[in-house]
Structure formats: structure tokens, C-alpha cells
Amino acid sequence: MTHPQAGIFEASSSQFRVLEYKLTADQVVDSLIKKLAIIKKTVTDVELVIGFGPALWQQIDPIKPALQFSQFNTITSPKGHQATASQTDLFIWLHSQNHDAIIEALLFVQQQLEGTATLALACDGFKYRDNRDLTGFVDGSANPQQLAGQHQAALLANDHSHHNGSFIMGQQWVHKLAKFHQLSTHQQEQTFGRTKADSIELEGDAMPADSHVSRTDLKVNDIAQKMYRRSMPYANANQQGLYFLAFCCDLTRYQTLLNSMYGLSDDGLCDRLIDFSDAITGSFWFAPSEELLQTVLSTD
């Protein structure tokens, strides 16, 4: 019996830190594993989720044949919008309600990985109002509400060799808030495909085909392309946006979503939302089950 990494589903946190690393060299993998084992043992006051990029995971996967999955590749729409690739080797997600504990964990992780992995991205996220994005719209309203549904969307099935693991997609989006807020509330709702105040989906002819809901609420062969979103807004004086974070049982669902958003599906329509936000990073990782992670990190 295996269990998913618990931090994937813990939803009470209000403070989030995403850390993405690239290895300094292939030869440091053994050192990285030892340091991650120390981090896993020591960081217990906050939720900790660890994911591995495709090249790194193939080196350390103890199950043979190793799980094969692709790196994130840049996607460009016919209109020139771009979802930029920045594939990293290691994903660490810290979250909690306790800001001080988050900072302490963050500093410890960075201290441990210094010299073995180079920090490629650090994003400080937070819960904004009632789970809203900085555009003012509720984020993740299409998520399964029950734990069973979240597990079904996020985790590899029990008959899979890597069961209860999850494929992760992370993207840092930079919002053009001034441009977006120039729109009327009606135009904003047409962009998202939901009402702003109470997050009710538009229906029938009121729902534009290029709205965000229309481009991301997808089915393939009658199978809903569900994923479990854990995105978080971030902001400073110079830049505001959303770190899109999702966990999924099937890596191809991410590609289906991106193709639909960027005008690469059959109808050629682009998601209206990408006129108001740019994806400046993009990576895929694999988060093994808790038991498989412990096996990977075993240094005995």
C-alpha cells in the first residue's frame, strides 16, 4: 500500500514557496539524494512536496523499467503568444499557515542544496481573499471538491507501476493587470467564462468559445481532462501574477490543455486570457508516492 505525498492535498495553507533547481552537474546526483534525505527528515513543521524532472528521475527511479516522461517544450500560438519552457531538475513546494516556519524551512533547504543545485526560480505565493487570483476571479473553481475525486484526477492508478505518484506542471504567469482592469466587468467575465462575484459558469450562447473555461474544460474520447490545481498568486511592486501549479494522473492532459489554450487544437482558437498574462516559465516533474520517495532517498 502506498500513499501520495500528503502536501499535494493539504488545502489549509495560506503561505506558499515554490523552489525550482537545476543540478550543477550530472555527477552530483548522489550528493543531491543525500541532501534531500536530510531535508525530508528535518523539514517537518510545514508541508513539503518534492518532484523530479524527467532527466533526473530516469537516473534515480528504483522501479524498472523507469518511468518515462517528457520535458516541457515551448509552445507558440499562431498569434505569437508563447508558453516558455524552462525545464528544471528539482521541484520543492513548501506551504503552511505559519509564515515564520516557511521562512525557516526555505533557508534550510537553500543551505542544504547550495553547491549541488542552482536555484533557477523562487516564487512566494499566498492565499488571496477567498482563493482568488489577482484578477479578482476565483481560481481553481473546477477542481474536484471531494478527496476521492482529487485523487482520481491527480494520482497514477493503483495498477500503475508508479501508483499514487503524480505528474506536476508548474508555470509562472505574469499578469498585465492594468490592461485587464481596463475591461468592463462583462468583458472580464467573457474572458474567463465565469461570473466575477460568485464564479458561476456562463451558459449557452453567453459562453464564448475562446473563454478560459471553454479552452480548459476539455474532454478527449468522452474522458474529462481533469487535473488538481494548486495555483497561487504572487505579487511585488514590480510584478504580479500566478504560479500555475497542477497535479495530474496523465501527462498528456497538460499538453491537451496547452494546445487548446494556444490555438493548436482543431478549431484554432486561442484562450482569450493569454492576451492578459504571459507564461514565462514551464516545467514538468514527477512527484513519487511517499513510500517510493523514501526508497529513493534511502542512503543506507
Per-residue pLDDT at 50: 99
- In angstroms, the CA 204 to CA 193 distance is 11
Per-residue pLDDT at 36: 98
End-to-end CA gap in the chain: 22
Task: Identify whether the C-beta of residue 134 lies closer than 8 Å to the C-beta of residue 175.
Answer: yes
Look-up of cell digits 516541457: 72
Q: What are 27-55's pLDDT values in tens digits?
A: 999 999 999 999 999 999 999 999 999 99
Q: What are 240-269's pLDDT values in tens digits?
A: 999 999 999 999 999 999 999 999 999 999
Per-residue pLDDT at 300: 62
Look-up of cell digits 482568488: 132
Task: Identify whether the C-beta of residue 247 lies closer than 8 Å to the C-beta of residue 253.
Answer: no
CA angle 268, 274, 277 (to 5 degrees): 170
Residue segments in the chain with a per-residue pLDDT below the cut of 70: 299-300
Task: Identify whether the C-beta of residue 256 lies closer than 8 Å to the C-beta of residue 159.
Answer: no
Q: 138-162: b or e for each residue (b if 16 or more CB lie within 10 Å)?
A: bbbbbbbeeeeebbebbbbeeeeeb
- In angstroms, the CA 207 to CA 194 distance is 8
Q: Give the CA distances from residue 243 to residues 21, 68, 123, 170, in Å, rounded to whole numbers and listed in that order.
A: 16, 25, 8, 7
Look-up of cell digits 498568486: 233
Q: What is the pTM of this model?
A: 0.97
**Alpha helices, H only, the chain:** 29-42, 54-60, 99-113, 147-154, 177-181, 185-192, 212-216, 251-261, 290-297
